[in-house]
Chain A
Amino acid sequence: MSARLIPGLSLLVLLTAAFVLACHLTVSDAAARADGDDAGMAERLLGGSRLLAGELCFDQADLYLHRGMPHVERAAFTNRWLQRLAAQVSPPVVVHREGVEGLRDVLPWVSLAARFAPTNADFVLTRAYLLERTGNQAAAFDVLRHARIEQPQDPALSFEEARMHMRLGHWSQAASLLELSERLTGPQPASPEWVDLLAEVCFLKSLLQEQAGAIGPAAASLARAATLKPEWYESFTNRVADLRAGRPPERPVKALLDSYRLSAQTNPLCHHDDDGD
């Protein structure tokens, strides 16, 4: 056996320690710089490798969600002896981790991804969602508030925080965060994603306005949502007409808010079909 292995492995340990230290530094550094333009300590030390580590951890979270089953790829040949043996070693079945315990297993990978790459809104939003689903609402709010300090111009963060408040029935906080999100999106959204986001902001805002008795603004917000998202137009037109005419809409606002809270319980992490994607 060769003692030459020791320097290499020691270097690996030192690199890992430096990486971990840099990730710890990022967290404290982020709070110190509110403008978000200056490069963080970890960025100066490790550059893009930290972001790559974040991506890897997020991929690992996806793998955990599917209980270790990678995405299926097209193969030139299947069902060979060795492939059958490999399938017995690692069953190629698409199964999800379920329940709170399953999400607790996924959460650390997403948390690590968000820690390595705190400026990636997807990681932060997924982390907040998982924390909320695993019953840690306070931590979820902390994550979103911290992310808003890190990226004050991202409307998705305030929108997610607003949705969390809505799910908990904190209407006034939700309303002010929706306002903020709308302001950050601006009158001319910069991308198709932001158009969708603004449509959702307008929809939720209209529900809150309707609940507060501000029927006119509620109708205006809903009409704007329908304009921004054409596929909603048909279903919202009647409601807008009812509100403007002072008639009670087909579905009361309380029912809509309840169904919204229920729909938030579905799993938004996984968007594939269960037929082998």
Chain B
Amino acid sequence: MMRRIWAVAEVVLRGWLRRKEAYVYIVLLAGLQLAVASLGGAAGGGSSLYLFDAGLLLTWFFGWAVALHAGAAELPGEEAHGTVFLLLAKPLSRAELIVGKWLGAWLAVTLCTLAFYAVTLIVAYSAGVAPPLGALIQAGVLHLISLAVLIALSLALSTRLNRDAAVAVAIVAALALYLIVPRIPQLACETHGWRVGALNVLYYGLPHLELFDLRRRVLHGFGPLPGGVLATLAAYGAVWTGALLMAAWLSYRRRRFQRDRLLE
């Protein structure tokens, strides 16, 4: 089973490496960081920590953008090209196909994100910032776990939506999860009755992406997380990834494909 999953993942990874899109993203990220650095004259006498902050934020943003696209592009791509019939004709279950696609997309996005971190670190070091490496490595690991959750989310959406719709819904969902879900306790102050209960359910029932964001610890010198907390967060991310992949499989396992309709 693992061999079949890995075979699918390898195809995804190779296809991604062949398209060489990552270079473009890296150049764009470096360009943005240089644009921010060009305002450095305004900092006159200040430290360059702001530049590292902007770099980390851009790395987060680019990582998420690439992950949401990568997750949403795979299954609709196979359907659009008609190659889904070749895949399903092989001794490959739909669960293996889903997990293989997820794994391949995650590995591709991981390589891309590590390159983003490398660019950010080079810019930071050249500006005289010495990031705390322990906390930064933890931040990178948790970032990759959040990307695993997001890829699973967009993959699950792409089992029922076309690629563009899946990307759009996934972006809105990811932003809501990151910006609104952590504020549910504050929002609940403004309401009464059953709505408070409903907000409680949402608070526990939706993934908390902000838990994977360690930028404050890195930038403001709070040091690395205790090992137990890191393991808890990794398990939390793994549970959500598993749940979303399960949802993707449930949605995809009985889906029928008609060649003439797909290739229209």
Contacts and interface: CB of A to CB of B under 8 A. Distances in A.
B208 A86 contact: yes
Interface in B8-65: 16, 19, 21, 24-25, 28, 31-32, 35-36, 38-40, 42-51, 62, 65
Given A1-B73, A2-B69, A89-B229, A105 B203 contact: no
A274 B217 CA distance: 21
A16 B214 contact: no
Contact of A1 (B16, B31, B51, B232): B16
Given A13-B28, A111-B44, A105 B49 contact: yes
A123 B217 CA distance: 27
A72 to B, nearest CB: 10
Contact of A108 (B28, B42, B108): B42
B12 to A, nearest CB: 9
Q: Is the interface of B mostly helix, strand, loop or mixed?
A: helix
A3 B42 contact: no
Contacts of A86: 182, 208, 210-211
Interface in A84-115: 85-86, 88-91, 101, 104-109, 111-112, 114-115
A107 B32 contact: no
A2 B163 contact: yes
B175 to A, nearest CB: 15
Majority-rule SS of A interface residues: helix
Contacts of A82: 203-204, 208, 211
B45 A89 contact: no
B185 A77 contact: yes
B50 A1 contact: no
B231 to A, nearest CB: 12
Contact of B46 (A5, A16, A80, A107): A107
B222 interface: yes
Nearest to B142: A89
Interface string A1-21: 111111011101100110010
Interface in B231-257: 232-233, 236
Nearest to B76: A2
- Listed residue (B38, B44, B66, B188) with the most chain A CB atoms within 10 angstroms of its CB: B44
Given A5-B66, A76-B188, A89 B28 contact: no
Contact of A74 (B189, B204, B216): B189
B186 interface: yes
Interface string B187-207: 011000000100110011000
B185 A76 contact: yes
Nearest to B49: A105
A22 B108 CA distance: 37
Interface size range of chain A in the complex:
35 or more
A107 to B, nearest CB: 3
A8 B61 CA distance: 13
B90 to A, nearest CB: 23
A1 B43 contact: no
B233 A85 contact: yes
A67 interface: yes
Contacts of B134: none
Contact of B32 (A2, A16, A68, A74): A16
A4 B66 CA distance: 10
Given A1-B105, A17-B35, A89 B225 contact: yes
Interface of A: 1-6, 8-10, 12-13, 16-17, 20, 23-24, 60, 64, 67-68, 73-78, 80, 82-83, 85-86, 88-91, 101, 104-109, 111-112, 114-115, 130-131, 134-136, 139
Given A6-B21, A105-B50, 17 more contacts: A1-B70, A1-B73, A5-B21, A9-B25, A9-B28, A13-B32, A13-B35, A17-B31, A23-B39, A24-B38, A67-B221, A74-B186, A78-B185, A86-B210, A88-B226, A115-B42, A139-B44
Interface of B: 16, 19, 21, 24-25, 28, 31-32, 35-36, 38-40, 42-51, 62, 65-66, 69-70, 72-73, 105, 108-109, 163, 167, 182, 185-186, 188-189, 196, 199-200, 203-204, 208, 210-211, 213-214, 216-217, 219-222, 225-226, 229, 232-233, 236
26 contacts: A2-B69, A2-B70, A2-B72, A5-B66, A6-B21, A6-B25, A6-B28, A9-B24, A16-B35, A16-B36, A64-B49, A80-B185, A82-B203, A82-B204, A83-B185, A85-B232, A85-B233, A86-B210, A89-B210, A106-B46, A107-B46, A111-B42, A112-B43, A115-B39, A131-B44, A131-B45
Q: Which 6 A-B pairs have the closest CB atoms?
A: A107-B46, A76-B188, A108-B43, A75-B185, A108-B46, A68-B216
